Amino acid sequence: MPSLSQFIATRQAHWNLLEQLLARGEGNGLRRFEASDIEALGREYRQVISDLAIARRDFPDDQLTVWLNGLASRAHLRLYRAPAGSWKRLGRFFWSDFARRVRAARRYLAVSALLLFGPALVAYLAALLDPTLRDALVPEQYRSIMEGGRTWTDIEPELRGGMATVIFTNNIQVAFVGFAGGVLFGLGTVYVLVSNGLMLGSLLGAAQFYGVAPLLWAFISPHGYLELTCIVIAGAAGLMLGDALLRPGLLLRREALARAARRAVELALGAAPVLVVAGLIEGFISPNADVPIAVKIAIGPLTGAALYALLLTVGRDRRRQLRG
């Protein structure tokens, strides 16, 4: 075993070089480093890791071991930390990265959509055709309003600004609960999707029965395509988490969950601005009696088509990078 002085003498040049490289990267990270500098940083980092292992074995109580540990930690952070955030990176995520994440999650999206719209269709037919099921699925206060040929969707003009804030906050909460429910092995996500589908379908079926369907469709359509799409996306994120817990493969469950969490969080966060737009439409346009019913019904497919066009087309030149 070499003495402490011999150990320092044979390794100190490497440590000094690593310190110099780290000092050069202060403030600017590795952006101004040339390829040879980055290669040298990686090489010296590996060297100090090896030296730290020796020091822990041979000189565990010496201050040198503490100092080497700090040097190795600084180098690790410099090499492996995520790039500093910027508005450009944030904009790129929402404009292109989010769309690629959505396309990559298409299987989860299909299951999420089935869990939302399957029960909605069943509830629609039940509320339309069966009085007993209609009474069970649709709250009495809604049925009494629809029996009078009205809906509950009118919002006074002076209240629309505040209601828009309440609405898109509520929408985000619903999406978040659907996403977070994935940590319960997906059961929470399934519950949110199925319950919202049953509520939507039963209200539309009852509205059709009572003859006020055009009024309700005129309210739902302007914001509904965006809102329901985001709920499906949040549901897909939750199912992704649940799948990682149910089928971790060769990984520990916590490791599988950690791997799935990043992709799932990106899906949920990417949908949030779309939900804000849907909430603004729901607060200002959907209840606006001055907008003709035909126009309201047409707004929904147009906004939905614009969203789907973006999700299906942007960022396709980098899809292979995502798979990697």
pLDDT at residue 320, as a whole number: 47
- Indicate the average pLDDT of the chain: 85
pLDDT at residue 203, as a whole number: 93
pLDDT at residue 134, as a whole number: 95
Report the candidate in 98, 120, 126, 106 with the shortest Cα–Cα distance to residue 272. Answer: 98
H-helix or E-strand containing 243?
helix 213-246
177-207 pLDDT, tens per residue?
Answer: 888 899 899 999 999 999 999 999 999 999 9
pLDDT at residue 118, as a whole number: 97
Q: What is the mean pLDDT of each run of 10 residues along the chain (324 residues)?
A: 83 89 73 78 90 89 88 82 62 83 94 97 97 94 89 64 56 82 93 94 95 92 93 95 91 87 89 87 84 92 94 71 44
In angstroms, the CA 116 to CA 89 distance is 33
Query: Is-contact 203 220, C-beta < 8 A?
Result: no
Query: Is-contact 171 278, C-beta < 8 A?
Result: yes
pLDDT at residue 210, as a whole number: 95
**pTM surpassing 0.85?**
no
For 68-124, the three-class secondary structure string (H helix, E strand, C coil) is HHHHHHHHHHHHHCCCCCCHHHHHHHHHHHHHHHHHHCHHHHHHHHHHHHHHHHHHH
Task: Tell me the DSSP string of 205-220.
Answer: HHHHHHT-HHHHHHHH
Tokens standing for residue 138? 């649709």
pLDDT at residue 27, as a whole number: 60
